[in-house]
Structure 1
């Protein structure tokens, strides 16, 4: 993978960094949510910056990647972001949303998980 030099990469919420200064991306596993997706380690900074974007989307912006891959990555990132947000919704609110709006978040969650799992399986092939 080739990193684009001197490209400004958005990290979300008005944070930007030069692509060739990023030395590591670490997905946040615990306490992940809106505004907290990835730790971005930057050359000459002691502490990482918390980015609201996923490591996949940041990496896609950093690298010279074909347009089709970038589009697929963006779609998968969006699904992952939606899944992360749905997972934060408790059972009582899920029931209320189903009753009031007819939106079955459990079904949507399962479908997104199937899509993401299928996409990861096809990458391994």
Structure 2
């Protein structure tokens, strides 16, 4: 994987950093939540920058082609959404399904299948 130089990488919540200045990505395990997904280590700072995006989505943006930026961002959003859905408590998942008819597991699975698809995923989106 080749990191594209001089590309501004979105870290979330109006935070951007140059791709060639990012030297490390570390997923946050404890106290992870909205606004706290990844620690981003950059060459010019001694302390990491806290990003609201996952390390995989940041790395993908660092290496993707400019033409693919919107597709990469959509993939990043879907990945973050799957993570948020996965982190919901079982009680809340049951409540959403029983009270509102929203099946969290169904939608998380559907998003995962679309993200893993080798084709354009159009059949999965509308099937």
Fold equivalence (TM over 0.5): yes
Instruction: Evaluate the alpha carbon distance shift between residue 90 and residue 64 of structure 1 in structure 2; reply closer, same or farther with a 3 A threshold.
Output: closer
Could you tell me which residue of structure 2 aligns to residue 111 of structure 1? 110
Whether 1:12 and 2:12 are equivalent positions in the alignment is: yes
Structure 1: gaps of 5 or more residues: none
Alpha carbons 1:41, 1:49 under 8 Å: kept = yes
Distance 1:12 1:75 in 2: 13
| Whole-angstrom distance in 2 between the partners of 1:61 and 1:110 | 24
**TM-score for both structures, normalised by structure 1:** 0.72
SS in 1 for 2:112: helix
State the distance in 1 between where 2:15 and 2:51 align: 8
Question: Once superposed, what is the RMSD of the aligned Cα atoms?
Answer: 2.5
Number of matched residues? 117
Distance 1:12 1:66 in 2: 18
Task: Work out the CA distance in 1 between the residues paired with 2:99 and 2:75.
Answer: 28
1:20-99 pair list within 5 angstroms: 20-63=20-63, 65=65, 67-68=67-68, 70-99=69-98
Structure 1 residues 9-41: Cα deviation after superposition (integer angstroms, max 9, x where no partner)? 332223232333211223334543321222111
TM-score (norm 2): 0.71
Please state how far the C-alpha of 1:2 moved relative to its aligned partner: 4.4
Any unmatched runs of 5+ in structure 2? Answer: 119-127
- Shift of residue 66, structure 1, vs aligned partner: 5.0
Tell me how far apart the structure 2 counterparts of residues 84 and 11 of structure 1 sit (CA, whole Å).
16
Match of 1:74, SS state, is helix
Q: Which moved more, 1:100-109 or 1:52-61?
A: 52-61
